[in-house]
Amino acid sequence: MSITEKKPAWVAPVIVRHSSSGMNKFGGVREAQFRNEIAGVSIAELVEKYGSPLFVLSEEHLRQSVRRINRAFSTRYAKVRQAWSYKTNYINAVSAILHQEGCDAEVVSEFEYDKARRLGVPASRIFFNGPHKPRSALAKAVKEGARIHIDHLDELALLEEVANEQGVLEFPVTIRLNFDTGFTENWGRFGFNLENGQAMEAARRIAASPNLKLTGLHNHIGTFITDPRAYTAQVGIMIGFMNSVEAATGCTITTLDIGGGFASRNALQGVYLPPEQITPTAEQYAEAICGALAVGLKNREQNGKPLPELILETGRAVVDEAEWLISSVVANKRLPDGRRAMVIDAGVNILFTAFWYNHEVRPARPVEGIPEDTVLYGPLCMNIDIVRQSVSLPPMKTGDLLSFWPVGAYNNTQWMQFIQLRPAVVLVRQNGQVDVVRRAETLDDVENPEHLPIDLQPNFS
């Protein structure tokens, strides 16, 4: 080779064994492409400016997502309200955007209730769920006129007591029901059972109370429901119970809350078909639910009863696909069994959903080389920190970036400060501007609530 001739670039050598099995004739190739931008903003530039790892939200994706669900339902049923499920993502910017789009709030604790109130949500637009609402929370919610969903008899008694103390009469309440739809496992731990008569008993008790008035029914059939027929069955059962309870107690039901559980285009571990094929669209869910409402409520207005409002407690389906996690390759490894592994700077401490999803993983630049089955380990010094058991990736160098998607649901709530500090969350605005909506944590954030007694201060002098 002459001195003037430029040497070819070095690409890491790869060898892969040919295998005649393991092909998925239904599945597409999810990991083959790269992603170098999010909502028009370069991933490399985002990391250069805000660090790695980094959560990136897209305002455009979020607004389009909530609008699509809203449109799917409101074009099929006259009275629809979406209540944004706070526990899905605690970033205030996310809640604020969804409230701008007309969503109410669905909260499941006093902390979440206070969070929604601080953001300016009127109590009358907060649906207060959950199995533990302490007296202080109930007192606040009754005083401010929130929409309380009763989970059990002890709560019913406490709520009656609180309303009585405040001299409130006929405070409108909803009871949470549980029942078997035949499609999903009944979440019997929440609410009153319909089949064994608990739910009717609770309704009679409310009817007998001067302080409370039953106006709503609520049920939640499960999570990541991929068969819309489950909702058809749910709505049919709820309407049947509504008719029974109105006949038995003389109440009028004005809201039917069918909870949440809509799936996103995420890949659940252990599911054979890719999400593009199994995740129903918003329109398919809406058709199943509103179709059942149309059948069940056909004669309701003729019978002098109002059409109930349909409440959707949407969380995952709204936000999951509107957020990405960017992570950097820290090291390449060869495991004793021959498998390739990479250490990346984002672990299960911030990507909690890695325990049950196989996220889409893409390099942030086109990478040459034959893809190889790879294990992705996070940065924690813990054996459980496996972000992905197996993903096909081309050879990558330290410092290369990977994007994980969808990560909008349940990561910015279930993440924890463990071994590593939590990274920043940025929001790409519709005009392309980037706002830091949660800065990266510092040591002070972790230690501020602590107090070290003065005599315990170590002395190394």
Using CB under 8 A as the criterion, which residues of the chain lie in contact with another protein when the complex forms?
A: 1, 6-18, 332, 334, 337-338, 340, 368-370
Residue 178 or 374: the one with the smaller Cβ distance to another protein is 374
Read off φ and ψ for residue 128, nearest 5 degrees. -100, 100
State the Cα–Cα distance between residues 322 and 318, nearest whole angstrom. Answer: 8
Residue 301 or 368: the one with the smaller Cβ distance to another protein is 368
**Residue with the two structure tokens 């059948």:** 295
**Shortest distance, CB of residue 329 to another protein, whole angstroms?**
14
**Shortest distance, CB of residue 387 to another protein, whole angstroms?**
20
Q: Which DSSP letter does residue 65 get?
A: H
Residue 118 or 334: the one with the smaller Cβ distance to another protein is 334
Residue 9 or 384: the one with the smaller Cβ distance to another protein is 9
**Shortest distance, CB of residue 395 to another protein, whole angstroms?**
8
Q: Which DSSP letter does residue 364 get?
A: S
Cα→Cα distances 220→26, 186, 449, Å? 31, 9, 36
Give the DSSP H/E element, type plus range, for residue 113: helix 110-118
State the Cα–Cα distance between residues 69 and 315, nearest whole angstrom. Answer: 11
**Shortest distance, CB of residue 18 to another protein, whole angstroms?**
5
State the Cα–Cα distance between residues 80 and 300, nearest whole angstrom. Answer: 17
State the Cα–Cα distance between residues 295 and 297, nearest whole angstrom. Answer: 6
Residue 21 or 459: the one with the smaller Cβ distance to another protein is 21
**Shortest distance, CB of residue 3 to another protein, whole angstroms?**
12
State the Cα–Cα distance between residues 194 and 385, nearest whole angstrom. Answer: 41
Residue 298 or 334: the one with the smaller Cβ distance to another protein is 334
Residue type, 404: F
Q: Which residues pair with 85 in a beta bridge?
A: 106
**Shortest distance, CB of residue 26 to another protein, whole angstroms?**
24
Residue 14 or 416: the one with the smaller Cβ distance to another protein is 14
- For residues 251 and 204, the answer to whether their CB atoms sit within 8 Å is no
Residue 338 or 453: the one with the smaller Cβ distance to another protein is 338
| Nearest Cα to Cα of residue 343 among 369, 380, 379, 309 | 379
Q: Residues of 322-349 as b/e, b for ≥16 C-beta within 10 angstroms? A: bbbbbbbbbebeeeeeeebebbbbbbbb
| Nearest Cα to Cα of residue 235 among 261, 250, 264, 257 | 257
**Shortest distance, CB of residue 218 to another protein, whole angstroms?**
55
Residue 304 or 338: the one with the smaller Cβ distance to another protein is 338
Read off φ and ψ for residue 300, nearest 5 degrees. -65, -50
**Shortest distance, CB of residue 9 to another protein, whole angstroms?**
5
Q: Are strands 147-150 and 171-178 parallel, antiparallel or unpaired?
A: parallel
**Shortest distance, CB of residue 60 to another protein, whole angstroms?**
38
